[in-house]
Amino acid sequence: MSKEIPRLIRGISPTMIRVMNIVQKVAATEANVLITGENGTGKELIAREIHNLSDRAGELMISVDMGSIPETLFESELFGHVRGAFTDAREDRKGKFELANGGTLFLDEISNLSLHSQSRLLKVLQNRKIVRVGSNNEIPVDIRLICATNSDLIQMVNEGRFREDLLYRINTIIIEVPPLRDRVDDIPILANYFLRLYCEKYEKKPMKINSGALSKLSNYMWPGNVRELQHAIEKAVIMTDSPVLIPSDFEFKHSEKNLPGEELTLEEMEKKHILDSLRRHSNNISVVAAKLGITRQTLYNKMKKFGNGSF
C-alpha cells in the first residue's frame, strides 16, 4: 500500500485483535516469523508493525519480493557481488542481507523460490554468514527474518516443492492474516480512513460514505482484500463530484454476498463453490481440481466459462 495504516486502523474485529496480540508478543523477541494470508490482506504491514515494535526499530527493514527476482540473479540480489563477478558487475554491491544488517529482512512470497535457491537461503540462515558472488570471504550478518506467503507451504513440502528444513527454520511463529470478508467490522473503519487519505491526496473537500454504500461494501466478498477496498475508495473519490458516496459509486466484478433467503441458480452455486475452493487453496489449480474430483482441463474450462475476471 502507498501509505502505512496507522495504529488506529489495526482493526476492531476479533480476528484482527488476535493477530495484533500475537504481533505485540513476538515483536520483542528475535524469533523468525512466517506471515500467511491471501493477496492484499496486508502481510507487509504486519511485518512492518513487528519491526516497528521491536528493538530493531531504529534500523532498516528491507523488503524483498521473491517472486520478482529471476533465478539467475537470486544470489547477487540477496548476497551481493564483487566487481567482475559477471559481465555487468562493474562495482562491488551489497545484497539485501547486508543492507538489512542490524535490522529486519522481510522476504515476501517466499514460496516462489526454486529448490536450489531454498538450499542457498537455508545455508545462510543456518550460518548467519553470506558470501558475495565472485568472492570467497564470509561476511557475518545479523538480521531479524520475517517471511510471508499466500501459499500452503506444508502442502508444498508434501509435494516436494518446498524444503521441510527451511520451513522449520522460518516458521518459529506463524501469523495468519484474515481475509477482509472475515473482518467485516473493520470495513467501515478502513473505508473512511482511505476516504480521508484520497480526499487529501487529490485535494478534494471532505467526503462521506452514506449508510447504503457502507452496507454494499460490507456485503461484498472482497477477493482482493484490503488492497481492493483501497483501490475502490480511490476510484470513487476520483470519479465522484458529490460530497457523499452512494452505492452506485461502487461497481464490482464479483458478486456481493448473498442476502438471507436469496436463492442461487445451479450455475451460480457451481461458480461460488469453485471460487471458494480456489481461495482456500491459494489458486493451486492441481489441488483444486483434485478436491473437486475433476481434471485440470475441466477446471480451466469452467473458469473460462465463468470468466477469468471472476477468479
| Domain identity same for 206 and 119 | no
Q: Are residues 149 and 20 in the same domain?
A: yes
DSSP-derived 3-state class of residue 120: helix
Contact 41, 179 (CB under 8 A): yes
Pair 14, 163 in one domain: yes
Domain that includes residue 140, residue range: 7-178
Task: Sort strands 61-65 and 104-108 into parallel, antiparallel or unpaired.
Answer: parallel
User: Which residue bears the cell 529486519?
Assistant: 104
What is the pLDDT at residue 188? 94
Q: Is there a contact between 164 and 184 (Cβ–Cβ < 8 Å)? A: no
Per DSSP, 243 falls in state S
153 domain residue, yes or no: yes
Model confidence at 128: pLDDT above 60: yes
Residue 178: closest CA among 187, 191, 170:
187
Residue 258 lies in a domain: no
**pLDDT for res 187:** 95
Residues in the chain: 311
| Mean of all residue pLDDT scores within the chain | 88
Q: Is 2 domain-assigned?
A: no
Read off the CATH number of the domain in which 73 is found. Answer: 3.40.50.300
Same domain, 214 and 305: no
- On whether both 114 and 222 belong to a single domain, the answer is no
Last residue of a domain, one of 148, 178, 208: 178
Per-residue pLDDT, 296: 77
CATH code: domain of residue 188: 1.10.8.60
Residue 107 pLDDT = 97
Q: Note whether 143 and 57 are same-domain residues.
A: yes
CATH number of residue 293's parent domain? 1.10.10.60
- Looking at residue 256, what is its pLDDT? 56
**Residue 134 within any structural domain of the chain:** yes
| Radius of gyration over every alpha carbon of the chain, rounded to an integer in angstroms | 22
Do both 26 and 172 map to the same domain? yes
Number of domains the chain is built from: 3
**Helical H segments across 129-249, by residue range:** 153-158, 164-170, 187-201, 211-218, 225-239
Q: Looking at 178, 202, 235, which one is the last position of a domain? A: 178
| C-alpha cell belonging to residue 224 | 482482493
Lowest mean pLDDT among 20-24, 199-203, 239-243, 278-282: 278-282
Out of 71-75, 78-82, 307-311, which region has the weakest mean confidence (pLDDT)? 307-311
Per-residue pLDDT band for 260 (boundaries 50, 70, 90) equals: very low
Q: Can you read off the three cell numbers belonging to residue 87?
A: 559481465
* Residue 210 within any structural domain of the chain: yes
Is residue 272 a part of any domain in this protein? yes
- Max Cα-Cα span within the chain: 69
Q: Are 48 and 153 in contact (CB under 8 A)?
A: no
pLDDT of residue 1: 41
**pLDDT interval class at 25 (50, 70, 90):** very high
Angstrom distance (rounded) from CA 216 to CA 66: 36
**What is the predicted pLDDT for the residue at 5?**
53
**Cα separation of the two ends of the chain:** 22
Are 28 and 168 within one domain?
yes
For residues 290-298, give the mean pLDDT: 80
**At 258, is the secondary structure helix, strand, or coil?**
coil
**42 & 137 share domain:** yes
Amino acid 36: pLDDT: 97
Question: Would the pLDDT of 114 be above 60?
Answer: yes
pLDDT for the residue 264: 57
Q: Looking at the structure, tell me whether residues 75 and 145 fall in a common domain.
A: yes
| Arithmetic mean of pLDDT, 53-75 | 94
Q: Mean pLDDT across the stretch 189-202?
A: 95
| pLDDT at residue 157 is higher than 90 | yes
Q: Are 125 and 188 contained in the same domain?
A: no
What is the per-residue pLDDT for 171?
Answer: 94
Per-residue pLDDT at 295: 82
